[in-house]
């Protein structure tokens, strides 16, 4: 039976640096699944619609950058091996979302947010801190964060024109995946956060969405 490789603290830091570069550099993430947008026709959009949809997809792309950083930070400080493995697996699944959003942003003639390095650093720190507190808190933070993402996706799906089937296909698949991540984190023993903490997280997410819509 194959043995699990044990990494030293230095090895893990180097792996984290590699992941950060692959998350932040253009077209570095390699998705394991093809984009749901591939089979959908391109819509006829006017300039205003194109700009608005690009802004929404930029928000979602930054959200995936934050998710990558959050999971990597939690994996670095998780105490139980199975929790670390779960975080790393979730991060791998989020790479699909990251790549899909970037592809769609480029198709719309726009670019990812210039603030992504800042949000990556902040999210990594939050994830690492949550993992240091306890695995239960770390898993609970995943669930609460993914629930926030689902709310954003629902809002964006209402704003995107029905004719833009490419963007809608991406967001609908992302929503399904994020719901699964949230429920899996709770089932694994994650803490259900009280309303005040969820409110604080919601306010922070609004700062991210407002700042990345145009930048």
Cα separation of 74 and 138, whole Å?
A: 7
Q: Are 176 and 76 in contact (CB under 8 A)?
A: no
Residue 53: Cβ within 10 Å count? 24
Buried b (16+ CB within 10 A) or exposed e, 60-75: bbbbbbbbbbbbbbbb
Binding residues for Fe cation: 64, 94, 97, 146, 178, 181
Return all residues near 96 (Cβ < 8 A) that are at least 6 apart: 31, 32, 33, 177
Residue linked to tokens 């306010």 = 203
Q: Between the CA of residue 201 and those of 33, 62, 80, 113, what are the distances in Å?
A: 30, 16, 25, 20
DSSP state of 48: H
Binding residues: 64, 94, 97, 146, 178, 181
C-alpha torsion sign, points 185, 65, 198, 160: negative
């Amino acid at each position: 039976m194959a043995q699990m490789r044990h990494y030293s603290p230095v090895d893990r830091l180097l792996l984290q640096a590699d992941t950060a570069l692959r998350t932040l550099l253009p077209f570095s993430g390699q998705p394991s699944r093809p984009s749901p947008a591939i089979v959908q026709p391109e819509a006829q959009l006017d300039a205003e619609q194109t700009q608005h949809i690009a802004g929404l997809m930029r928000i979602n792309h930054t959200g995936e950058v934050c998710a990558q950083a959050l999971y990597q930070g939690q994996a670095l400080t998780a105490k139980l091996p199975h929790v670390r493995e779960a975080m790393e697996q979730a991060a791998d699944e989020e790479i699909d979302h990251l790549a899909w959003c970037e592809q769609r942003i480029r198709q719309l003639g726009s670019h990812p947010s210039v603030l992504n390095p800042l949000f990556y650093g902040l999210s990594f720190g939050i994830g690492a801190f949550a993992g240091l507190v306890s695995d239960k808190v770390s898993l609970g933070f995943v669930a609460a964060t993914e629930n926030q993402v689902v709310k954003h996706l629902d809002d964006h799906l209402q704003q995107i024109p029905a004719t833009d089937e490419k963007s809608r296909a991406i967001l609908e698949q992302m929503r399904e995946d994020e719901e699964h991540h949230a429920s899996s984190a709770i089932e694994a023993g994650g803490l259900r956060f009280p309303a005040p903490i969820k409110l604080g997280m919601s306010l922070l997410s609004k700062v991210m969405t407002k700042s990345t819509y145009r930048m």
